[in-house]
Amino acid sequence: MSGLAKRIGRSEWLRGLLCWLTACYIRLVHATGRWQVVGGEAPARLWDAGEPFILAFWHGRILMMPKSWRRAVPIHMLISQHRDGQLIARTVAHFGIHWLAGSSTRGGSAALRTMLKTLKAGECVGITPDGPKGPRMRASAGIVNVARLSGCPIIPATFAVRRRAVLRSWDRFVVAWPFSRGVFVWGRPIRVPRDADDATLDSCRREVEAELNAITAVADRQCGMAPIEPAPEIEPGAVP
């Protein structure tokens, strides 16, 4: 497998084929499944009004999230420049989703400026606040800084399915199977005050994390699955 991975990594053609096949698989899972949307009123109100917001979802729930989005509404995903991130970027491009280079924890200043410019232009931004490498289901401070500076709300979202595989990766990546029952769950909008100090920012970060974990657990239970637990919380000043 390692030899195959290296071969794919070196071949532009194979990378393109892999991303196309993944996009086809996402479409197959969605087309053959029975899907429900919970809490969709929150994004719909902003979509209808043409107001931008920040979409937040965990890294382990990336697979089906392109199908949660209203196709006509532009969105730009913050994606790592690492090779794995580029595969994700090329895959979501098949769904009309644009990408911004960077992460919520690395290369911050350039990525932050680009996200703020995008939101100011009236287009949405998507962030995995535990990406690109974790800890799993623990939000970094980047997303609340974007919300504070832009004045745009954060709306958490997730998906779950009844038939799935959970990989042994750091993010416990959820692979949905075709012909399954699934649900997309949206959380409540979270706004960060423009004058927020460090304590308020951390409180908002924890609020985003708690809301995302809550709706993810709700989604899993609604599909009859045991919720995936977050990684242990890292104490301030500790080395991950």
User: Largest alpha-carbon pair distance within the chain?
Assistant: 52
Q: What is the pLDDT of residue 10?
A: 64
How many domains in the chain? 1
Q: What is the pLDDT of residue 46?
A: 98
In the numeric block, which tokens belong to residue 212?
């995302």
Q: Is residue 72 part of a domain?
A: yes
Q: Is residue 235 part of a domain?
A: no
In percent, the amount of the chain with pLDDT more than 90 equals 80
Q: What is the pLDDT of residues 4-23, one digit of tens each?
A: 445 555 678 788 999 999 99
Cβ within 8 Å of residue 86, ≥6 positions away? 15, 79
- Angle at the Cα of 64 (from 60 to 70), degrees rounded to 5? 125
Q: Is residue 86 part of a domain?
A: yes
Sheet holding 54-56, edge to edge: 34-38, 181-186, 154-161, 54-56, 124-127, 75-79, 98-101
Q: What is the pLDDT of residue 145?
A: 96
Q: How confident is the model at residue 108 (pLDDT cuts 50, 70, 90)?
A: low
- pTM of the prediction? 0.91
Q: What is the pLDDT of residue 239?
A: 46
- Domain of 82? 2-222
Q: Is residue 66 part of a domain?
A: yes
Q: Is residue 97 part of a domain?
A: yes
Q: What is the pLDDT of residue 104?
A: 54
Q: What is the pLDDT of residue 107?
A: 47
Q: Is the pLDDT of residue 83 over 80?
A: no
Q: Is the pLDDT of residue 2 over 60?
A: no
Report, as an integer, the average pLDDT of 29-57.
98
Q: Is the pLDDT of residue 194 over 90?
A: yes
Q: Is residue 32 part of a domain?
A: yes
Q: What is the pLDDT of residues 126-170, one digit of tens each?
A: 999 998 889 999 999 999 999 999 999 999 999 999 999 999 999
Q: Is residue 230 part of a domain?
A: no
Q: What is the pLDDT of residues 208-222, one digit of tens each?
A: 999 999 999 999 999
In the numeric block, which tokens belong to residue 13?
């053609």
In percent, the amount of the chain with pLDDT more than 70 equals 91
Q: Is residue 202 part of a domain?
A: yes
Alpha helical stretches, state H, 33-166: 41-49, 83-92, 108-120, 142-150
Q: How confident is the model at residue 33 (pLDDT cuts 50, 70, 90)?
A: very high
Nearest Cα to 89, choosing from 161, 158, 15?
15
Measured in Å, how far apart are the chain's first and last C-alpha atoms?
29
CATH of the domain at 66: 3.40.1130.10
Across all residues in the chain, what is the average pLDDT?
91
Q: What is the pLDDT of residue 4?
A: 42
